Amino acid sequence: MLTFNLIVAVCENFGIGLKGELPWRLRSELKYFSTTTRRRENPEKQNVVIMGRRTFFCIPENKRPLFGRLNIVLSTTLKRSELPDNVLLYPSLETAMQHLEQSDLKQQIEKVWIVGGSGVYKEAMASPRCDRIYLTEILKDFECDTFFPKIPDDFKEAKPDPFLPLGVQVEDGIRYVYKVLEKQTILD
């Protein structure tokens, strides 16, 4: 079964967005997002980023689709013609994952990343396909109108990946930390 990871930055109130944008400006955190979702061990494979319609259109036009990754948008209201030709469109997360598994794409994919928004994150965390959450905790409150859903109790902090920056990071006076949470499987 093809699995996926989530990647998200949240502030203290678990906010992730305000009026279709990030509530903070952290260049190094955006670089971390880009590097992490593009990192591959096999240069002949590619990574996939899956997002909802609003998340896709919140990406600045000159930055979308996200470069160096296969972009998939989830929507039941968008028409195929409303997206660039190189962006795939599916009505649900599970439909997208089944298509990736059953198509020739499966041999070309290294990692699948869920990159937002709130509803897609909630659906993803409930899925048996979900492996890890790459969580950036911003140690400050920001005004937000979009929030990350409650993380289920079966996610526990895991040993960080070797490329994960350790300790408290600081940029423009804003402190934040990178964490990895792993879904624990309960065995009878």
Catalytic residue selected from 6, 12, 18, 22? 22
137: enclosing H helix or E strand: strand 130-138
List per-residue pLDDT tens for the chain, 188 residues long.
Answer: 999 999 999 999 999 999 999 999 999 999 999 999 999 999 999 999 999 999 999 999 999 999 999 999 999 999 999 999 999 999 999 999 999 999 888 999 999 999 999 999 999 999 999 999 999 999 999 999 999 999 999 999 998 888 999 999 999 999 999 999 999 875 54
* Predicted pLDDT at 187: 52
What is the rounded distance in angstroms from the CA atom of residue 178 to the CA atom of residue 136?
Answer: 5
Active site residue 22: yes
3-state secondary structure string across 84-112: CCCEEEECCHHHHHHHHHHCHHHHHEEEE
Contact 66, 72 (CB under 8 A): no
CATH number of the domain where residue 57 is located? 3.40.430.10
Beta-carbon-side half-sphere exposure of residue 86 (alpha carbons within 13 Å): 9
Question: For the chain, how many residues are written?
Answer: 188
- Name the β-bridge partners of 155: 183
Contact 154, 183 (CB under 8 A): yes
Instruction: Say which DSSP state 21 is in.
Output: B
Residue with tokens 């499987």: 185
Residue 160 domain-assigned?
A: yes
End-to-end CA distance of the chain: 21
* Predicted pLDDT at 186: 58
Instruction: Say which DSSP state 88 is in.
Output: E
Residue 85 domain-assigned?
A: yes
Share of the chain above pLDDT 90, in %: 93
* Predicted pLDDT at 188: 40
Catalytic residue selected from 6, 26, 29, 93? 29
Residue 25 domain-assigned?
A: yes
CA-nearest of 173, 171, 172, 51 to 118 is 51
Residue-number span of the structural domain to which 133 is assigned:
4-183
What is the rounded distance in angstroms from the CA atom of residue 17 to the CA atom of residue 9?
Answer: 10
Active site residue 29: yes
Residue 188 domain-assigned?
A: no
118: enclosing H helix or E strand: helix 118-126
| Structural domain count of the chain | 1
What is the rounded distance in angstroms from the CA atom of residue 58 to the CA atom of residue 42?
Answer: 30
